[in-house]
Structures are given as C-alpha cells and as structure tokens.
C-alpha cells in the first residue's frame, strides 16, 4: 500500500504517514510545497526507557499503537475487546467537489475486536479541514462504544491554548492558558451545546493575537454533549481532540450497526485568530443553504411586551417598527394555549383563543400589510408539566428510568419532550407543520431553554438520539417549508455550533442586549460564525439583564456588525432617538452586503482598553470598522489605529460612517482629520500602507461608546 497521503490547499498541508498499516498525521499546518514529503523523514527517536520503536500519535490514538495519552477510540464487548488495534486496509484520495476540495478516505479494521472504522479527511478549497469518522460493529454480539474522538497533533511551539466559556447572558468569553504537560479538558454535559461550550479548542504560538502567530483550532459540529481537550503527553507530543461525549451504555452497536461521529472542523492559521476565523467563515459561506438574501432588519417583541400579548399593542408596535424600516417582525413567547407566564403551556402548540380570539391572522395580516415578514417563537423540544399534552401523554416526558419513572429536575418549570419516541416526534412535527401551513410565517425563532442532564428513552441514555431527532425535526420541516428561515436560540447562545447551523439560518448569540457584554460575546461567537449568522438587537437604554445604561449610538454600533435588529418597545422612542435609529437602519441596509460578505478583521490593541474590528471587502475597495472604547483608557490619548487588510498601494477616503455621537467624544479630543470631516464633510485621503503601518489618529471616546469608520478606495 502507499506510504503517504498528502492534501494541500490555501496555504495548508496535511501529510498522512501510512506506514505500518497505521495512519499518523505527520503534519497539519503551513504549506510544505508541491511534493509530498517522505513521512519517514519525520520519524523521531525513542526514549531511553520506552517502546522499542518510536511512537507517534495515530490519527486515532490507541494504546495498541503505543499511545500513552487519551485514546481516540474506546469501547468493549461486555468487558472484552477493550483495546482495539486498527489496521489500515485502504487509503486513497479523491476530489471531493468541483470547488477543489480534496479528500483522504481511510478504512481500518480490527478483526479481533470486530470493528471497522472509516475516516474521511476533507481539505476544503479554503484550507478548512473536516474530519468525519464512523465505527461499525463487524463482530459478534453488541459492541458498547464509549469514545470516538477526532485527534490532531500540533507542534511543540504551540505553547498557549485558547478556549471559550460562559453562562447565561455571558457567553463565549475567551480564556487562555500555558500548555503544560497534562490534559486540559472542556466538557459540555448540558444535553445541548451549552452556554459554556467552548466553540473552539485552540493552541497557538505563545501570545498569538488577532493578526499574528500560528494557531491550530478544532470545532465540533454537534449540539449534544461533547468534550474538547488539549493534551501534552510526557514525551512532549501535543494534540487537540474533540468528540461527542457519550453516556454510559448510550451507544450499544448491534451487529452490523454504525455510529457516525459529528463532523469536526479544523482550522490552521499563520495569521492569528483572524486567519483561523477566515477559513471557518469562507467554508460556512460556501455551504449549500447559507442565507443568500439580505439579512432583514428584525423587530422581536420579547423585551417590548414579554408575555403581555394584545393585538392592539402589537399592531401599534408593528406600525412603529415599519416606520423605522424594520423588515421582519417576530412574535415571541406567549401566543399558545395557557401561556401567560413561563410556568405552563409548552407543548400545546395551538394559538390561545383567550388572547387571540381570531387566531394570529389579524396580526399577521397587519404585519404583512406593512411590508414586513412575520416570524414566530416556538420551543418544540420542551413540555410543561402543566400543559394539556403532558396531562394526556405523561410518558412523552423524557425520563431517565423509563416511560413512567421519575422526572428530571425541572428547569424554568419545564421538562423535555422525548423526541426519540416516534409518537411524540410526530405530534410536534404535525403541530409545527400545521402552524407553518396555516400562517404565512417566514421565520421561526426556535428556542431551547433548559439543560438536559439525564435524557432518557425507555430507560436508556438518549442525548445522542434526542439530538439526532431534533436535527430530523428541523430537516423535515425545512423540506416541507423551504422558504422558512430558522433561528437557533437556546436561552440566548446555548446552542451555537455548526451542527445546528446545518439546519438553521442564524443564532441568537445571547439573551443580553447590554452592548458592553455583547462586545465580548459577539467577538467570541465570530471566531467561527460570520456576522450574518449572529443575531444582535438594540435593546432599551437600560439593559434588562444588567441594568447598565448605554447611549443609543453604542447599542446600535454594537448590533451593526451582525444580523441587526431591535428588541425594544419602539412605540416609546423620543423624536431624536427615532431619527437616530432610522439613520442607523438605513446605514445597515446600505452596508449589509459588505458586512455580510467581507473579510472579518480585528486589530490587536495591546495596552489599551479599546477594540477595533470590522469588515474589509474581498477586493479591498471598501472597509467598515467599529472603534469601541470598553473602559477608561490608561493613556490620555488613544493609540493610533493600524488598519489591517487594506491594499497598501491604494488610497482610501476615511470618514465616520455614522455621525459621531457628540456624547461619545471626551473633552474635545478630536484629531484634525476627524475635525475637518465633521466640519466640512471632507474625508481624509490616505494610502492603505500609511493606514496599516503608521495608523489613523483616533478621538478619545468616553468608555462604553463607539464610532464607525468608513473607508472607500479612491
């Protein structure tokens, strides 16, 4: 058999060493050139007291191959066959699609353990590497699978790790550590992706930033339980690994049965985090079904009226929204049977005649009559103990000990409906299908508002099956109603991953609309998701989650670099606020093509308390940046802004994109170019080289204020 496979695209090389009927990743990182290097060249020596032959982590690390770290596959047949030794049977490359992806396809077997493992490594034209793995029970009797992770090596110079964490209203915060010997594990055991889910596990050269340093990162496209780790073994080998976290006894493969692991996405960059994100963003954007229409301006009713549904009030809200330029009006929680607060009704997906005596039609027609699309909130995976459906079908509640066993702890007064039960699944499908058929609904805000720690179906752990049942529900509804867009909300950003995004069109990044909190939440979410998939709404002046008060300009600019909307009783705006909001909405509409298609850039601003980020058009003819002051500056005057990504040989007109909020500017500290631009509307004209190398002088802004910079090539 061949001794190597070599994939190469967009500055990335992957070299597989196939000697010894094994597969080892000899290199995943920067391009090594056209010729596939000889894998034998990479073989190291052995330790003084060690195996007789050198050991390098296999693609699926196994003790049988000498790996002393965490194995990539684990399982057993009633305690036997506990240590598989996978033998490579077949390896080939194929061209995966016309866009230029290449794929390495590998087949391993272990006759003694009765296993077949299939692995496909697909390197996209954008350099993103996808790892798909499955294991099949080819032996006699049941094989209990405990682990099937994807593991990739990173070189020793990757000395610092990055992962994300958080909680409700504070998602996607970054944490860094030095990589020492040992294992740093981030597991998600929420039955959903989780507010603290890490989104990526990354390792990089120490101090890697937005624009500098080498970075290797993995993301797991899965919405159930999961594990991510960075591990440095005693011999110094360092790996990143991610996989589904399986519960005890959850995957029992019958003879001939296959477990398919969720897809793993691996991004390498030599240009810091922006380079890493760019590969994710371009892969996501090239997917079938990526939203291709302009992302409509949203008004969501939640923070405007909460559960107080009233046709008159909501019609007025729709009028005020339409007047501002809103394009999608979303009726949030509170419309279905008995749902006057969060203690009842989930599962009873019938319009409540007490609140909506004529159904939703009068509101839907009013909204559509104003030229807006109508959207509706649902939470299909849940069931209130106090609901008609729970009273009629108590066995539809997912329980750890069988259909009539004890229930899990309630959370927001709700339980999970067992979608692995075909009758429960069919009921939920029928209800949603009926609603989508009866009303011209263009958008569903699909919520999921609780952790699910011990999901069970007929007495067995069912997180895996429940996750697949949710996917199937989404897939079949989309097939039946292809025009409907769906948002993944999970008490805010509790379900943000490329698994759910395979069947949804955006995420609700957080339940907090506090613009300061949103700055870090959106920065973290944007590491994998491009801005058009990140829902961000302008809330009331004082945030309902933090009681912080922010000027409208800061709130609006924060939502601008995302999928823009509002969640606010816009009937109550003052005239000034209304004009300002109208202006921002018009600006969003004029620039969303750029924000939602360009290359995301972030500026490293060491030693400052500010941030600058935005979008540069792929042809580098335009750019939009937000300059945001997060806290009081340690320096009297801000450091100049070195703007990345521009064409050094072109000149750009530089001007504020939106009028600078006079409240934002501290004590008249305005640089000359900006003073001129404000006074006369005359933009400065500066070369991309000067902007990148010397930088743009910035005004001193008060903390928690922002401005937008617009750059247009002349």
Residues in the interface with ligand GLA (CB under 6 A) total 12
Binds ligand GLA (CB under 6 A): choice among 137, 449, 513, 633: 449
Interactions with ligand GLA, residue window 496-515 (CB under 6 A): 508, 511
Cβ distance to ligand GLA smaller for residue 484 or 658? 484
| Least spacing, CB of residue 491 vs ligand GLA, in Å | 5
User: 648, 634, 633, 642: which is closest to 689 by C-alpha?
Assistant: 648
Cβ distance to ligand GLA smaller for residue 143 or 302? 302
Quote the tokens at residue 213.
């340093």
Are 522 and 508 in contact by the 8 Å Cβ rule? The answer is: no
Are 40 and 62 in contact by the 8 Å Cβ rule? The answer is: no
Closest residue to ligand GLA, judged by C-beta, is: 333
Interactions with ligand GLA, residue window 570-629 (CB under 6 A): none
186: alpha, beta or left, given left = phi > 0 and alpha = psi -120 to 50? Answer: beta
Does 330 interact with ligand GLA (rule: CB under 6 A)? Answer: no
53: alpha, beta or left, given left = phi > 0 and alpha = psi -120 to 50? Answer: beta
User: 309, 298, 297: which is closest to 334 by C-alpha?
Assistant: 309
Are 127 and 10 in contact by the 8 Å Cβ rule? The answer is: yes
| Least spacing, CB of residue 384 vs ligand GLA, in Å | 12
CA distance 655 to 692: 16
Are 255 and 137 in contact by the 8 Å Cβ rule? The answer is: yes
User: 458, 466, 461, 347: which is closest to 403 by C-alpha?
Assistant: 458
Cβ distance to ligand GLA smaller for residue 340 or 368? 340
User: 409, 485, 477: which is closest to 191 by C-alpha?
Assistant: 409
Candidate segments 23-31, 382-390, 454-462, 485-493, binder of ligand GLA by CB under 6 A:
485-493
Candidate segments 23-31, 66-74, 215-223, 487-495, binder of ligand GLA by CB under 6 A:
487-495
The single residue listed with the structure tokens 């302009």 is 294
User: 563, 343, 329, 375: which is closest to 449 by C-alpha?
Assistant: 343
Cβ distance to ligand GLA smaller for residue 150 or 489? 489
Candidate segments 79-87, 88-96, 220-228, 489-497, binder of ligand GLA by CB under 6 A:
489-497
Cβ distance to ligand GLA smaller for residue 450 or 478? 450
| Least spacing, CB of residue 342 vs ligand GLA, in Å | 6
Binds ligand GLA (CB under 6 A): choice among 165, 491, 580, 633: 491
| Least spacing, CB of residue 298 vs ligand GLA, in Å | 12
Active-site annotation holder among 17, 22, 348, 447:
447
CA distance 650 to 572: 46
Cβ distance to ligand GLA smaller for residue 414 or 591? 414
| Least spacing, CB of residue 447 vs ligand GLA, in Å | 5
Q: Which of helix, strand or coil describes residue 304?
A: helix
Does 551 interact with ligand GLA (rule: CB under 6 A)? Answer: no
Cβ distance to ligand GLA smaller for residue 94 or 341? 341
**Site map 335..364 versus ligand GLA, x via CB under 6 A:** -------x----------------------
Cβ distance to ligand GLA smaller for residue 228 or 449? 449
CA distance 473 to 427: 11
Does 377 interact with ligand GLA (rule: CB under 6 A)? Answer: yes
Are 74 and 83 in contact by the 8 Å Cβ rule? The answer is: no
Binds ligand GLA (CB under 6 A): choice among 246, 455, 489, 527: 489
Distances (CA, A) of 548 to 580, 584, 683: 20, 22, 34
| Least spacing, CB of residue 454 vs ligand GLA, in Å | 22
| Least spacing, CB of residue 489 vs ligand GLA, in Å | 5
DSSP 364-408: HHHHHHTT-EEEEEE-TTEEESBSHHHHH-GGGB--TT-TTSPPP
| Least spacing, CB of residue 169 vs ligand GLA, in Å | 10
| Residue 675, C-beta contacts closer than 8 angstroms, at least 6 positions apart | none
Q: Which of helix, strand or coil describes residue 672?
A: helix
Candidate segments 63-71, 471-479, 488-496, 522-530, binder of ligand GLA by CB under 6 A:
488-496
Cβ distance to ligand GLA smaller for residue 496 or 670? 496
Are 564 and 296 in contact by the 8 Å Cβ rule? The answer is: no
Active-site annotation holder among 110, 333, 352, 511:
511
Cβ distance to ligand GLA smaller for residue 348 or 511? 511
Distances (CA, A) of 328 to 289, 324, 507: 20, 12, 16
Distances (CA, A) of 507 to 11, 480, 496, 529, 531: 30, 22, 7, 9, 10
CA distance 381 to 638: 49
| Residue 38, C-beta contacts closer than 8 angstroms, at least 6 positions apart | 4
- Kind of pairing between the strands at 12-17 and 24-30: antiparallel
| Least spacing, CB of residue 416 vs ligand GLA, in Å | 15
Candidate segments 9-17, 181-189, 486-494, 666-674, binder of ligand GLA by CB under 6 A:
486-494
User: Residue 657: what are its φ and ψ, rounded to 5°?
Assistant: -70, -40
Binds ligand GLA (CB under 6 A): choice among 171, 244, 352, 447: 447
| Least spacing, CB of residue 613 vs ligand GLA, in Å | 25
User: 214, 229, 230: which is closest to 268 by C-alpha?
Assistant: 214
Binds ligand GLA (CB under 6 A): choice among 262, 492, 645, 699: 492
Does 174 interact with ligand GLA (rule: CB under 6 A)? Answer: no
| Least spacing, CB of residue 511 vs ligand GLA, in Å | 5
Report CA Rg, the chain.
27
Cβ distance to ligand GLA smaller for residue 399 or 495? 495
| Least spacing, CB of residue 446 vs ligand GLA, in Å | 10
Annotated active-site residue 447? The verdict is yes
Interactions with ligand GLA, residue window 82-141 (CB under 6 A): none
Cβ distance to ligand GLA smaller for residue 71 or 345? 345
Distances (CA, A) of 430 to 350, 442, 476, 699: 11, 18, 11, 57
Annotated active-site residue 511? The verdict is yes
CA distance 586 to 446: 28
Binds ligand GLA (CB under 6 A): choice among 333, 514, 551, 704: 333
Candidate segments 66-74, 86-94, 287-295, 484-492, binder of ligand GLA by CB under 6 A:
484-492
Q: Which of helix, strand or coil describes residue 572?
A: helix
Beta bridge partners of 27: 15
Cβ distance to ligand GLA smaller for residue 377 or 568? 377
Beta bridge partners of 652: 686, 713
| Least spacing, CB of residue 567 vs ligand GLA, in Å | 8
How many residues in total does the chain contain? 714
Binds ligand GLA (CB under 6 A): choice among 17, 22, 271, 332: 332
Does 302 interact with ligand GLA (rule: CB under 6 A)? Answer: yes
Binding site for ligand GLA (CB under 6 A): 302, 332-333, 342, 377, 447, 449, 489, 491-492, 508, 511
Residues assigned a catalytic role: 447, 511
């Amino acid at each position: 058999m061949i001794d190597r496979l070599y994939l190469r695209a967009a500055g990335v090389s992957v070299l597989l060493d196939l000697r010894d009927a094994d597969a080892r990743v000899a290199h995943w990182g920067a391009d090594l050139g056209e010729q596939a290097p000889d894998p034998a060249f990479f073989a190291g020596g052995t330790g003084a007291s060690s195996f007789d032959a050198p050991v390098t982590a296999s693609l699926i690390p196994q003790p049988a191959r000498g790996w002393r770290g965490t194995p990539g596959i684990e399982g057993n047949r009633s305690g036997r066959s506990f240590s598989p030794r996978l033998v490579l049977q077949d390896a080939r490359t194929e061209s995966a699609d016309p866009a230029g992806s290449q794929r390495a396809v590998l087949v391993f077997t272990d006759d003694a353990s009765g296993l077949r493992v299939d692995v496909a490594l697909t390197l996209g034209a954008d350099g993103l590497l996808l790892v798909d793995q499955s294991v099949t029970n080819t032996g006699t009797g049941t094989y209990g699978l405990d682990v099937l992770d994807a593991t990739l090596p990173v070189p020793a110079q990757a000395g610092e790790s990055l992962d994300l964490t958080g909680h409700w209203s504070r998602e996607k915060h970054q944490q860094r550590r030095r990589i020492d010997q040992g294992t740093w594990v981030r597991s998600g055991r929420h039955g959903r992706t989780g507010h603290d889910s890490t989104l990526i596990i990354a390792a990089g050269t120490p101090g890697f930033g937005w624009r500098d340093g080498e970075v290797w990162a993995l993301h797991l496209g899965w919405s159930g339980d999961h594990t991510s780790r960075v591990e440095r073994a005693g011999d110094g080998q360092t790996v990143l690994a991610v996989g589904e976290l399986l519960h005890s006894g959850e995957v029992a493969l019958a003879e001939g049965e296959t477990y398919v692991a969720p897809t793993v996405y691996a991004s390498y960059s030599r240009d810091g985090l922006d380079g890493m994100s760019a590969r994710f963003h371009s892969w996501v954007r090239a997917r079938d079904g990526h939203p291709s229409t302009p992302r409509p301006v949203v008004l969501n009713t939640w923070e405007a009226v909460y559960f107080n549904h009233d046709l008159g009030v909501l019609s007025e809200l729709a009028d005020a929204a339409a007047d501002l330029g809103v394009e999608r009006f979303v009726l949030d929680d509170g419309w279905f049977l008995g749902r006057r607060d969060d203690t009842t009704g989930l599962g009873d997906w019938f319009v409540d005649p007490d609140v909506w005596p004529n159904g939703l039609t009068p509101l839907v027609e009013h909204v559509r009559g104003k030229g807006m699309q109508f959207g509706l909130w649902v939470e299909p995976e849940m069931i209130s103990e106090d609901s008609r459906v729970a009273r009629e079908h108590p066995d539809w509640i997912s329980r750890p000990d069988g259909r009539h066993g004890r229930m899990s702890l309630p959370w927001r007064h709700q339980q999970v409906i067992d979608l692995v039960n075909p009758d429960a699944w069919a009921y939920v499908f029928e209800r949603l299908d009926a609603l989508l058929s009866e009303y011209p609904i263009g958008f569903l805000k699909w919520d999921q508002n609780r952790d699910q720690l011990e999901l069970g179906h007929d007495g067995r752990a069912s997180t895996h099956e429940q996750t697949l049942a949710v996917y199937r529900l989404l897939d079949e509804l989309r097939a039946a109603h292809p025009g409907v867009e769906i948002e993944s909300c999970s008490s805010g950003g509790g379900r943000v991953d490329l698994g759910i995004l395979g069947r949804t069109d955006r995420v609700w990044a957080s339940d907090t609309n506090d613009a300061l909190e949103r700055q870090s939440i959106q920065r973290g979410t944007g590491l994998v998701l491009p801005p058009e998939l990140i829902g961000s709404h302008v809330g009331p002046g004082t945030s309902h989650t933090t009681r912080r008060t922010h000027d409208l300009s800061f709130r609006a600019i924060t939502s601008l670099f995302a999928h823009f909307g509002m969640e606010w009783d816009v009937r109550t705006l003052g005239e000034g606020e209304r004009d300002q909001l109208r202006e921002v909405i018009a600006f969003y509409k004029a620039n969303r093509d750029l924000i939602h298609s360009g290359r995301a850039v972030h500026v490293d601003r060491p030693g400052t308390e500010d941030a600058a980020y935005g979008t540069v058009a792929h042809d580098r003819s335009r750019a939009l940046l937000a300059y945001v002051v997060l806290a009081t500056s340690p320096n009297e005057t801000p450091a100049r802004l070195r703007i990345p990504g521009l064409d050094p040989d072109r000149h750009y007109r530089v001007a504020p994109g939106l009028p600078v909020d006079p409240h934002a500017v501290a004590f008249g500290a305005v640089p000359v170019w900006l003073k001129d631009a404000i006074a006369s509307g005359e933009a400065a004209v500066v070369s991309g080289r000067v902007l990148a190398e010397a930088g743009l002088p910035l005004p001193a802004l008060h903390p928690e204020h922002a401005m937008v910079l617009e750059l247009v090539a002349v």
